[in-house]
Every structure is written in structure tokens, then in C-alpha cells.
Amino acid sequence: MATRLIIKTKDLTQIYGMGDARVAALDGVSISVHEGEFVAIMGPSGSGKSTLMNILGCLSRPTSGAYFLDDEDVSGLDKVELAGIRNKKIGYIFQSYNLLSRTTALDNVVLPLQYDRLTERTTEERKKVAMKVLEMVGLADRVEHQPQELSGGQQQRVAIARALVNSPVLIMADEPTGNLDSKSGAEIMQLLHDLHNQGATIVMVTHSTEIASHTERTIHLLDGKIDKIIGNGKKAKQ
Amino acid sequence: MKSSEVFNIAWAAILKNKVRSLLTMLGIIIGVAAVIVMVAISAGTEATISEQITSLGSNLVFVQSSFSRGGAGGGMPQGGLVYDDAAAIAENVQGVGGVVVEQSATESIKADGVVLDGITLLGSTADFPSVRDMDVAVGRYFNEIEVERKQKVAVLGASLAEELFGTTDPIGQDITVGNTRLVVIGVLEEKGLVGDVDYDSRLYMPITVVLDKFAPTQFAKIMGDSVRLIYVEVNDQENLDDVILQIQLLIAKRHDLPLEEADFTVTTQQDIIGTQEATTAAFRSLLGWVAGVSLIVGGIGIMNIMLVSVTERTREIGIRQSIGATPNDIRWQFLTEALLLSLVGGFIGVIFGVGGAWIFGSVSGMRTVVVTESIILAFSSAALVGAFFGFYPANKAAELDPIDALRYE
């Protein structure tokens, strides 16, 4: 493999509860995702896919095991460092969009840039960057609209723009079409495909086999372990 | 995140719930306004009192009968000050500018067909105007010779002259006080109310005449020239203690008593001002505490609403965390909001306090003096209260787990 590894985990384990009530939500999961891959994670509820998603998205830390994101060991980072990783390296797309209400699309997209303390940018520069990404997702004419004035599909586009604005190495999508009608859902999937074709690395959690079939690989989880990994007949981009 | 952006977010959050923010600020507004108004009232009272006291003449020493010997049991007072004591002080004590003895009585006055009942007669010695800082407007005050010779002359207070004679020149006119006829020789300058005494409605005459003709009671007639109070004006503030000691020694000797059993007390203007200041200071600190408590209550109000706000905005906090906000970013955001609430509340409170003090002053007629320090103190207390009570909710927001916060409905 010539491409670099974006995600590399070794024996990720997450244990909830104490004593007899101990439950292993994740039990020794080791996966790798290369740059430019589009991977789906599937599994029934309780299989540990949300837990894995949270760890991969640096929203929580595993009880044990190692996680290398873009060649950096992030399993031992503290809260502040994790916040920095989330800001610079990861873009999230949620099922329920999670946009700030009563805040314009533009301001929502600017937000990750405001929390970026590594790059010096003026307010004008931030707006420019955010505008560019909003144009890319086809919302150039909606930038001053607030979420409640936008359709579900449009809101998800704003969320995608927000995920992309800091040029992350990894996009985490959690049921990105779950709240959308099939037409809007198809449009969002098309947008993700476009991003993938431009070289983005995407990990998507879904319960729908149809949606998962858009990806190159599907990782099936069961009871906190990898059940199977199925190639979806699409070649990983080299 | 830049502090200007944090400020903007906090400001937007406050504006989003205008009514609630205003209600939250109410405690701070009332607290700050209360501090300013209360301090303004007590400072006004204090200024009025000390002005009144000094307007009675500075460098004054009061020698008072205390009847400590034999009189306390309700029997006949033995001793006490007599008129001659005043003369002795004037003669023998070094560094005295003037000595005044006062004896008052109440009588009806007739003049030019006008009859006034219950007028206060103030018998004094000739030094009265200089010792008590009174000025003569027309004519003159009576002199020592007139006092000595019990001349039936009278000096009118400004408003008394107006009531008796209107626009007519009262100098040289006759007035009948009780059954005694006196000649008006002067009118005093208007003095106004000092404490609760109206100096302008009084009639002034030689003390010898009062003792002779208008002694208020049968008992006083027997006592003859007994006086309650002798005013001594000291030439130089530096000689005050020396003069007091001389007076004590002199009168004790005259009364044939050891100093420890003296039947009189000597107090100074400074003592009285000191007592007044101590009283108003105690009053002021009490008001300060009351106002301070209302500030704390206001702070608890802010904490309460901030806790509600943190809970309501859990999802927002989660979103911010997921895109890279650190615990400090979140903490600052909510702390800024609490601070802003208390500062804006403090600012409104200052406006209400200054305006309230002014309105209270003009409605009640009480003097109010807005003290700059009280504004600074109240405003900075408000800021402190905001920071203190905002910290807990802000910390709670900062410690939220991003996953839980994102999942919060």
C-alpha cells in the first residue's frame, strides 16, 4: 500500500460499569483505514458501533488499546489535546445535523475556524474560507439563512461544509441520511461520493445496507467485536 | 477563539432571552442601586449634620450642669452652674474668645396689634452672635453693659421680625413680652433650621432680663441665676485641651468640689461631631450590609439562571466541543455571559441609583450626596458577584462530556 494510514487501531477496548456490571462495549477491535477510503461501519444496536465511532472521532478515549490517527497516537491525549484534534483533523456529519440554531449558515461554518488556535486568520479571511466551502456544497445563495429556514437536505449540506472547512484528514458521518427523505438522502450521498472522489477519507456509520453499499468496505460489528469485513466491489482509490 | 468573539456569543445569548436576562439582572440592579441610594442618603445626612454643627460656631466648648451630686434622686438639685460661673470663666481662663450663657423661656409677644403665643425667648450674654456664628442684619445686638444693667432691649429673629412688623422697620419699636415692655434694637440675619431648632423665630434678650422676668418655673425663680449651659469659644483650636482643663479646675474650685465629683461636664464641638459621625457611620455600614446581602441574592439569581442556561444549551455545548472547543473555551463563554449580565445589571443599577438618589432627595426633601466611591464599590461588587456566581455554572458546562452533551435532547 502506497497510501498513508489515516486510522490504525490495535485492540481497542471500551468497558463501561464496574465490578459485576462490567460490559465491554468494544472488545479488541483492530482496524485500518487508508487515505482516500470510504468505509461503512454497520451492526445491530448494542454492537458497539457508536462507541467505536466516538473513539475514532476523538470524542472519547478507549479503556485500553491504541489508536493512531494520521500517524499520531491519540489514545493517551487529554481533553484539551483531543479538542484540538477534533478541530483540525476531524469533520463530523451527524444524523440530526447539529447546527447552532438562530445562527446563520455562514456563522455555523465559520465556527470551527474560530476554535482553531493554530492558524492565524482575520474574521474576513475566515468568512472567505467558509464562503468557499459553502459554495462547494451548493449553498452560495443561502449563507445568510438560519437553520430553521433551510430544508433538511440544505441543513445537512451546511453541516458538511462545517465538517470540511478546516480541511480535516478524516470525515466521520453518523447516519448522515437518517433524517432525510430519499431524494435529499440521495443528494447527500452524491455529495459524499464527490468528496470521496476528490480524495477525502470518510468513515460512515449506518444501519442501511443500501447506504453502506455506496462505500468500498463495510465493517460489521457484533457484540463489540469485528464480525466481518466485506468489500463492496469498489476499488479503493490508489 | 478571540475574546471579541466570546463577547459576541455571550452578548447574543443575553439578547436572545431579553426578558429573562432583565429579570436575572434585577437582583444586581436593585443591589447596586440600593448601595448607591443608601450611601447617598447617609452621606447627605452626615454632611447636613456636620454643617449644622459647625454653623453653630467652631471651636466651641460646652459646659453643662450635670447635677451629679444630690440631684439625681429627684430632690432639689444642689449646685450646678450659675450665671456667675460664666463671668468667672470669661475673666480667669486664658485663651477664651467669648463666653455665652443661655436661658430660654416661653412667652406671648404683642406688638403693633399682632399677638404671637408660645414664642421662645433666648436670654444670652453679649458674645452670643460671635460665639454662635449669628450675624445681625439690621441694628445691633445688646452689649455687656446692657446685660449687666438688665436693660429691656430685644433682638428679633428674621422670621419673627417679619411676623410682628411685616415690612415696617422694627428698630426702636416697642414690644410687650408677657407683661414686660422691651425695645427692639436689632434683627438677626436669617439662619434657617439647625437641627430641629428654628433660630429665626426666636426673640433674643439679655440673660439677666430672662432670669429676672421670665424664669420659666417657680423653682427656677428660687434658683435665681442657675444656668444649664455655658458656651465658651476658644481662640485657638490648639489651646482647646488647655482651656477645658482650666475651666474644669476653675469651676470645681468655685463649687468647692474635687474634680472627680464635679457637678458639670465639659464637651467640645468635636465630641458632638464625633458622636454624630460614629452614629452615621454605624448607620451607613448597616445599610451597606443590607445592600450587600441584596447583591449576593442577585448573584444567586444569576447562578440560578446560568445553571438553567447551561442545561438548556447542553446540545449547543456538545456541538461546540465536537468541532474543537476546549473546556476553557466553554468555561469562558459562560463566565463571560455571567459577567456581562452582572456588569450590565450593575451599569443599569448605577443609573437607577444615581437617579434614585436624586429623585429621593427632591421628593423627600432630604439631602442626598452621591458618593463616587459607592458607585465604584457597588459596580465592582457586582462584577465580583457575577464572576463568583458565574464560575460554578461555567465550570459545569466546561466539564460536560461531549458525547453526553451531543446526545442531550
Distance from C-alpha of B337 to C-alpha of A185, rounded to nearest angstrom: 39
| Portion of chain A with pLDDT greater than 70, in percent | 97
For residues B230 and B99, membership in a common domain is answered with: yes
Digit-coded pLDDT (tens) for A122-133:
889 999 999 999
Q: Is B60 within a domain?
A: no
Distance from C-alpha of B406 to C-alpha of B125, rounded to nearest angstrom: 90
**3-class DSSP assignment, residue A53:** helix
For residues B81 and B203, membership in a common domain is answered with: yes
Residue B362, H or E segment: helix B327-364
Distance from CA of A87 to the nearest CA of B (A): 4
Residues 62-121 of A with CB under 8 A from B: 79-80, 83-84, 86-88, 92, 94, 98-100, 102, 111-112, 114-117
Q: With b meaning 16 or more CB within 10 Å and e meaning fewer, what string describes B51-85?
A: eebeebbebbbbbebebbeebeeeeebebbbbbeb
Domain count, chain B: 2
For residues B8 and B81, membership in a common domain is answered with: no
Digit-coded pLDDT (tens) for A136-176:
999 999 999 999 999 999 999 999 999 999 999 999 999 99
Distance from CA of A75 to the nearest CA of B (A): 16
Q: Is B324 on the interface with A (CB under 8 A)?
A: yes
The residues of chain B scoring below 50 in pLDDT are: 68-78
| Portion of chain A with pLDDT greater than 90, in percent | 80
Find the length of chain B.
409
Distance from C-alpha of B11 to C-alpha of A214, rounded to nearest angstrom: 44
For residues B219 and B119, membership in a common domain is answered with: yes
Judge whether residue A238 has pLDDT over 50.
no
Q: Is A237 within a domain?
A: no
Last residue of a domain, one of B262, B297, B326: B262
Nearest to B283 by CA among B43, B49, B52, B48: B43
Q: Is B158 within a domain?
A: yes
Q: Is A238 within a domain?
A: no
Last residue of a domain, one of B213, B241, B262: B262
CATH number at residue A112: 3.40.50.300
Distance from C-alpha of A13 to C-alpha of A104, rounded to nearest angstrom: 40
Domain count, chain A: 1
More confident residue, A109 or B371: A109
Q: Is B57 within a domain?
A: no
ipTM at complex level: 0.93
Q: Is A16 within a domain?
A: yes
Distance from C-alpha of A24 to C-alpha of A17, rounded to nearest angstrom: 9
| CA A144 to chain CA centroid, nearest Å | 25
- End-to-end CA gap in chain B: 27
For residues B254 and B327, membership in a common domain is answered with: no
For residues B219 and B342, membership in a common domain is answered with: no
> For A79, which of B320, B322, B327 is closest by C-beta distance?
B327
Q: Is B61 within a domain?
A: no
Structural domain range at position B96? 67-262
Digit-coded pLDDT (tens) for A38-80:
999 999 988 999 999 999 999 999 999 999 999 999 988 999 9
The overall average pLDDT reported for chain B is 84
Shortest CA distance from B316: residue in chain A: A100
For residues B345 and B380, membership in a common domain is answered with: yes
Structural domain range at position A19? 5-231
For residues B38 and B99, membership in a common domain is answered with: no
Q: Is B58 within a domain?
A: no
For residues B249 and B290, membership in a common domain is answered with: no
**Listed range (A9-13, A102-106, A126-130, B244-248) with the worst mean pLDDT:** B244-248
- Burial label, A60 (beta-carbon count in 10 A; 0-12, 13-18, 19+): middle
| CA B282 to chain CA centroid, nearest Å | 12
Nearest to A164 by CA among A206, A194, A186, A121: A194
What pLDDT was estimated at residue A235? 54
Report CA torsion sign: A55, A58, A60, A62. Answer: positive
For residues B160 and B289, membership in a common domain is answered with: no
What pLDDT was estimated at residue B227? 77
Question: Which amino acid, one-letter code, is at B225?
Answer: D
What pLDDT was estimated at residue B61? 86
Q: Is A53 within a domain?
A: yes
Task: Take residue A36 and report the three cell numbers written for it.
Answer: 482516500
β-pairing, B203-206 with B229-234?
unpaired
What pLDDT was estimated at residue B223? 54
For residues B164 and B254, membership in a common domain is answered with: yes
Task: Take residue A222 and report the three cell numbers written for it.
Answer: 457484533
Q: Is B62 within a domain?
A: no
Last residue of a domain, one of B200, B232, B262: B262
Place of cell 396689634: B113
For residues B177 and B81, membership in a common domain is answered with: yes
Q: Is B175 within a domain?
A: yes
Place of cell 456569543: B9
Q: Is B180 within a domain?
A: yes
